[in-house]
Structure 1
Amino acid sequence: MNITTLYMNAKAAIAANKIAKMDADKKAAGFLMLLALAFVAVMPEVAMAAPWDGAADKVLEIFTGGLTRTLAIIAVIACGIAAIAGKLSWDWAIKIIIGIVLIFGAAAIVDYVISAAS
């Protein structure tokens, strides 16, 4: 075997491995979608055909609840530690802060726009 044959064999093996990983990712994504649909189907808000407001309020509660607040606090602490160590990427810090403002200020922003439009 010469070097060209070895290179071609390695290239084919890498391509086959990438295809196998993509197939596995597609299967995993399909399974997660099926699991999410099954979960939503057994939720009382959806299964009992309750008004969509109840389900939407649950989603809003998930995004602005205690766990999300805790994760936001941890993200800000991580930014502070990185700043102290001199390893803070200001690009990431700005993205984190803007994300937190948009997530927790979303209701106030929407209320402001609605009141300004009427």
Structure 2
Amino acid sequence: MSIIQAVSSAYKQNAAEKQQISQKTLAAMAATFLAIFLLIAPEMAMAEPWDDVAQSILDIFTGGLARTLAIIAIIACGVMAMVGKLSWQWVIYIVVGLCLIFGAAAIADFFIGAAGG
């Protein structure tokens, strides 16, 4: 047996061992995820904690801090327009972004109402 054949044989054997390890790892990961899901399933049925988290995120995006940042962005646009350094493309981006952020609830209610929900 030549050296090249020996190296090739060892390489093939090593590749087969790696494939077996990865299959065992995949099976262990799948079993772990299944066990975690079965442990969490009762909490998922009670959606109250998720509602609280979602409401907190909504309050962050539409609350006082977001309103203050929106006012600062509009003031910055006004100052830049005053000195002639404003790209009107940025104004459109800012206005559309603010309309989507602060009008998100009305937009969602419109689509939910239109869908009959």
TM-score, normalized by the shorter chain, greater than 0.5: yes
Which structure 1 segments of 5+ residues have no match? 1-48
Are 1:102 and 2:100 matched, yes or no?
yes
Q: CA RMSD in A?
A: 1.3
Which one has the largest radius of gyration? 2
Q: Deviations over 1:42-80 (max 9, x none)?
A: xxxxxxx85311110000000001011000000001101
The alignment's TM-score, normalised by the length of structure 2, stands at: 0.57
Partner residue of 1:70?
Answer: 68
Greater RCO between the two (CA within 8 Å, min separation 6)?
2
Partner residue of 2:24?
Answer: none
Partner residue of 2:111?
Answer: 113
Percent sequence identity over matched residues? Answer: 64
Partner residue of 2:39?
Answer: none
Partner residue of 2:79?
Answer: 81
Corresponding residue pairs, total: 70
Q: Secondary structure at the match of 2:103?
A: helix
Equivalent-residue separation in structure 2 for 1:51 and 1:66 (angstroms)? 23
Equivalent-residue separation in structure 2 for 1:52 and 1:98 (angstroms)? 29
After TM superposition, what 4+ stretches of structure 1 lie above 2 angstroms from structure 2? none
Which structure 2 segments of 5+ residues have no match? 1-46
